[in-house]
């Protein structure tokens, strides 16, 4: 079998962990499989590199930031290759460009265009374990690019797709995908299976256990993923198209604190205003999430929407001139909010899911500021200070048996 195994930063954080990963990889190799391994930077290396850059230049160019951040994964691949050699197995480390990753030129958020896997194939044919640096590629100018935080998951799925792998395993520091972040909610339960659509929502709504683009790609190429522990030998969670019917109405609760709320108060209540506002936001390349428009009163209305936390300031700048022109009463953003969501295909066919969620928040005396729903998720915006309590209360309402 051809197996792709991805190990995240905490799984290779120190020498002992690197040897642990090497044991898993070489065991898979010795069982007669072809093994391609994708690794992330050790522990907090990526954060540390970003901090180093900020000490020198808080606004370093994105090209140089990518050059810097890609260094973390270079260290991991070399160390892991040496660890495999130490255990008596031939291994070769490859950077993103050597492994054939071509991306577009959007530094720090590059999209993979193609993975030309000839070199990986050639090394596998030489009976080597191939260890690829996750999170990175090269653009048409031959410059190093990175795929965005958490991007190594996507590197692994891209290789699995390009090489038609039999298995794609994502090893991490928890045992799988849980009903809530197991580090925050001690009663969270591991799921045996979750659908691509549910996992995609969950990843997008803040559960960083898988990067959302990796799930999107896995769905597109029908690659079944397994999320499992790099330390314990126990079954993990399968991410796939269809899962067996379970009685679970929802699969998981997620929290996202990477949100800012932009508010425009007192704008004229007339046609075309929303169009003009959101055209300006789009021109500034800001992704808008939840939008709320108040009922018009005295010829004016309010529009509130959310954007990623780091883009709040940019959004307000993009709108300032237009809002002055409209004589809006107030234009501002705040980041003291969080989004708490429940996800599950089961809610589509069951009534009472929303009321159970809102009841749990009400019992915990947590005020809901905005609500947004789709077929398989319900999200609420609340004060950031209440976020962990809200996750616990909602999780309790759906998963803890009284």
Interacting residue ranges for ligand ASP, rule: CB under 6 A: 8-9, 40-41, 46, 72, 134-135, 149-152
Q: How far is the CB of 108 from ligand ASP (least distance, A)?
A: 10
Taking residue 46's Cβ as centre, other Cβ atoms within 10 Å add up to 24
- Give yes or no for residue 201 binding ligand ADP (CB under 6 A): no
Binds ligand ADP by CB under 6 A, chosen from 21, 81, 209, 340:
209
Q: How far is the CB of 149 from ligand ASP (least distance, A)?
A: 4
Q: How far apart are CA 201 and CA 193, in angstroms?
A: 15
For residue 268, list its beta bridge partners. Answer: 300
User: Near ligand ADP by CB under 6 A, which window of 79-87, 169-177, 338-346, 357-365?
Assistant: 169-177
Binds Mg ion by CB under 5 A, chosen from 43, 134, 150, 312:
150
- Give yes or no for residue 178 binding ligand ADP (CB under 6 A): yes
Binds ligand ADP by CB under 6 A, chosen from 172, 195, 315, 379:
172
User: Near ligand ADP by CB under 6 A, which window of 4-12, 46-54, 77-85, 214-222?
Assistant: 4-12
Closer to ligand ASP by CB, 9 or 312: give it. 9
Q: Which of 220, 196, 307 is nearest to 259 (CA)?
A: 307
Angle between helix 212-220 and helix 152-163 axes, rounded to 10 deg: 10
User: Near Mg ion by CB under 5 A, which window of 63-71, 145-153, 317-325, 380-388?
Assistant: 145-153
Closest residue to ligand ADP, based on beta-carbon distance: 8
For residue 165, list its beta bridge partners. Answer: none
Closer to ligand ADP by CB, 183 or 220: give it. 183
Q: How far is the CB of 155 from ligand ASP (least distance, A)?
A: 8
Q: Which of 151, 124, 114, 126 is nearest to 38 (CA)?
A: 151
Closer to ligand ASP by CB, 6 or 301: give it. 6
Q: By the 8 A CB rule, do 338 and 311 touch?
A: no
Closer to Mg ion by CB, 38 or 319: give it. 38
Parallel, antiparallel, or unpaired: how do β-strands 34-39 and 2-7 relate? parallel
Contacts of 349 (CB under 8 A, 6+ apart): none
User: Near ligand ADP by CB under 6 A, which window of 7-15, 17-25, 31-39, 287-295?
Assistant: 7-15
Q: How far apart are CA 49 and CA 80, in angstroms?
A: 20
Contacts of 324 (CB under 8 A, 6+ apart): none
Contacts of 118 (CB under 8 A, 6+ apart): 100
Sketch the per residue contact string, 292 through 321, with ligand ADP: x for CB under 6 A, - otherwise: ------------------------------
Q: By the 8 A CB rule, do 251 and 200 touch?
A: no
Size of the site for ligand ADP (CB under 6 A): 19
Instruction: List the strands of the sheet with 252-256, edge to edge.
Output: 252-256, 337-343, 377-383, 370-374
């Amino acid at each position: 079998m051809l197996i792709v195994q991805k190990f995240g930063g905490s799984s290779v954080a120190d020498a002992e962990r690197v040897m642990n990963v090497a044991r898993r990889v070489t065991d898979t190799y010795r069982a007669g499989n072809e093994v391609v391994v994708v690794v992330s930077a050790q522990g907090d290396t990526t954060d540390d590199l970003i901090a180093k850059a900020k000490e020198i230049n808080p606004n370093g160019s994105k090209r140089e930031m990518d050059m810097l951040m890609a260094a973390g994964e270079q260290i991991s691949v070399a160390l892991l290759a040496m660890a495999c050699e130490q255990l008596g197995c031939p291994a070769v480390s490859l950077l993103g460009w050597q492994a054939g990753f071509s991306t577009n030129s959007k530094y720090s958020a590059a999209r993979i265009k193609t993975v030309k896997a000839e070199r990986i194939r050639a090394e596998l044919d030489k009976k080597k374990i191939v260890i690829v640096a996750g999170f990175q590629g090269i653009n048409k100018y031959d410059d190093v690019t990175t795929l965005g935080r958490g991007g190594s998951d996507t590197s692994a799925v891209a290789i699995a797709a390009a090489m038609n792998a039999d298995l794609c395993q994502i090893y991490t520091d928890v045992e799988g995908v849980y009903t809530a972040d197991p580090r925050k909610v001690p009663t969270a339960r591991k799921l045996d299976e979750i659908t691509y659509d549910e996992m995609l929502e969950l990843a997008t709504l803040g559960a960083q256990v898988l990067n959302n683009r990796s799930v999107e790609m896995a769905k597109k190429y029908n690659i079944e993923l397994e999320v499992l522990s790099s330390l314990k030998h126990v079954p993990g969670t399968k991410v796939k198209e269809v899962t067996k019917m379970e009685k679970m109405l929802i699969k998981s609760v997620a929290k996202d604190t990477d949100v800012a709320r932009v508010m425009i108060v007192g704008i004229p209540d007339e046609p075309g205003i929303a169009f003009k506002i959101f055209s300006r936001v789009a021109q500034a390349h800001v992704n808008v999430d939840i939008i709320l428009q108040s009922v018009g009163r005295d010829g004016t209305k309010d529009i509130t929407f959310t954007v990623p936390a780091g883009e709040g300031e940019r959004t307000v700048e993009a709108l300032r001139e237009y809002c002055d022109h409209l004589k809006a009463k107030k234009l501002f953003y705040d980041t003291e909010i969080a989004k708490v969501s429940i996800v599950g295909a089961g809610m589509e066919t069951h009534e009472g899911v929303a009321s159970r969620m809102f009841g749990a928040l009400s019992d915990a005396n947590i005020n809901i500021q905005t609500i947004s729903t789709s077929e398989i998720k319900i999200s609420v915006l609340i004060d950031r200070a209440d976020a962990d309590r809200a996750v616990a209360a909602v999780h309790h309402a759906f998963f803890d048996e009284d």
